[in-house]
Structure 1
Amino acid sequence: MTLDIHTRPMTAEAFARFGDLLEISGAPDKIINQGQCGRFHDRARMDFSDGRAGISLFDAKPRTLPYRLEMVERHPDGSQAFIPMAHQPFLVIVAPDEHGVPGRPRAFLTQPGQALNFFRGTWHGVLTPLHAPGLFAVVDRIGAGDNLEEYWFDTPYMVVS
């Protein structure tokens, strides 16, 4: 038995309680590079209890919908940004915190060109590209200690479009 979760389009408003949606919208904050580049400045609230920000590269295998969700994770000591390095949508799963455990998950489909930053302590699914290549730059906390907490659901969810 599984419980169904229907995906919805990723919007800044729908995602606001879980993190920052990183996308180009509106006019750039500044024009740089001899007038050839618009800078959309400071789009993510990076937050670390200690350590430092680091950039890693993740090469994830693509998944398909329907997607069986059995586990979510969170990072209590730092935010985590997923920045796709291909112009493809990906699946984002988040869950509200309910007294230290995840509540009912929500699923979003990004648009090509969107990236995101999970707030520190946000329950979320693993990196879930839907197309190859699943190459992402990930900005997160580099430091001592275990910054990962997993939660396995008693009854899995099925994410459907």
Structure 2
Amino acid sequence: MTARIAITPLEAKSFAPFGDVLDTAGAPDRLINEGLCGRYHDRARMDFGPGGRAGISLFDAQPRALPYRLELLERHPEGSQAFLPLHQNPFLVIVAEDAGDAPGRIHAFQTAPGQGINLLRGCWHGVLTPLSAPGLFAVIDRIGETPNLQEVRLEAPVLITD
């Protein structure tokens, strides 16, 4: 029997062990540009490790449908990875607790329109999973000479349901 995981809304408190929710909820930290722009300051725990630097890439991912069959998890041991949608569509965020050299219990979140995420360095996660087109994202992650990707195929697929 295939394991099933229900999607929950993305909220800062429940997502904190895995990373940061990037949004403009609440009042801005300060007003800038002659009071016409709210700055939501320093919202992500970015970490690019020794010998790394921040890079901005654009990802254009194909939309996926629910229920989603999860078969692969990955992590980036050398640096964090932030995903900022270039649209207002929700997307699926799959993360797993750290069980040493392997992923542990899996969690699935759905973003609200306009939310982005930052995955902490070494956090096990699913692939970029937009739920509708376009699947265009700005991604801020580590650029460096050392390998920064580990993948693991699940022994049995997990079905992510709404």
TM-score per shorter chain, which class? over 0.9
Query: Paired residue for 1:52?
Result: 53
For residues 39-118 of structure 1, what are the structure 2 equivalents within 5 Å?
Answer: 39-49=39-49, 50-118=51-119
Runs of 4+ in structure 1 over 4 Å off: none
Counterpart CA distance in 2 for 1:121 and 1:82 is 15
Query: Paired residue for 2:10?
Result: 10
Displacement of 1:36 after TM fit? 1.2
After superposition, the C-alpha distances for 1:30-51 in whole angstroms (9 at most, x for unaligned) are 1112221100011001011121
Displacement of 1:77 after TM fit? 0.1
SS at 1:14 equivalent:
helix
SS at 1:48 equivalent:
coil
Query: Paired residue for 2:161?
Result: 160
SS at 1:41 equivalent:
coil
Displacement of 1:55 after TM fit? 0.4
| Structure 1 counterpart of 2:68, one-letter code | Y
Counterpart CA distance in 2 for 1:110 and 1:68 is 18
Query: Paired residue for 1:129?
Result: 130
Instruction: Report the number of matched residues.
Output: 161
After superposition, the C-alpha distances for 1:4-38 in whole angstroms (9 at most, x for unaligned) are 11101110011010001111122111111222110
Unmatched 5+ residue regions in structure 2? none
Displacement of 1:125 after TM fit? 0.3
Unmatched 5+ residue regions in structure 1? none
Give the TM-score taking structure 1 as reference length. Answer: 0.98
| Structure 2 counterpart of 1:80, one-letter code | Q
Displacement of 1:76 after TM fit? 0.1
Counterpart CA distance in 2 for 1:151 and 1:39 is 38
Displacement of 1:104 after TM fit? 2.1
Counterpart CA distance in 2 for 1:39 and 1:99 is 37
Counterpart CA distance in 1 for 2:112 and 2:145 is 35
After superposition, the C-alpha distances for 1:90-118 in whole angstroms (9 at most, x for unaligned) are 00000001121001211000000110100
Q: Percent identity?
A: 62
After superposition, the C-alpha distances for 1:106-138 in whole angstroms (9 at most, x for unaligned) are 100000011010000000000000010000000
Counterpart CA distance in 1 for 2:95 and 2:16 is 11
Counterpart CA distance in 2 for 1:40 and 1:23 is 8
| Structure 1 counterpart of 2:99, one-letter code | E
| Structure 1 counterpart of 2:95, one-letter code | V
CA RMSD of aligned residues (A): 0.8
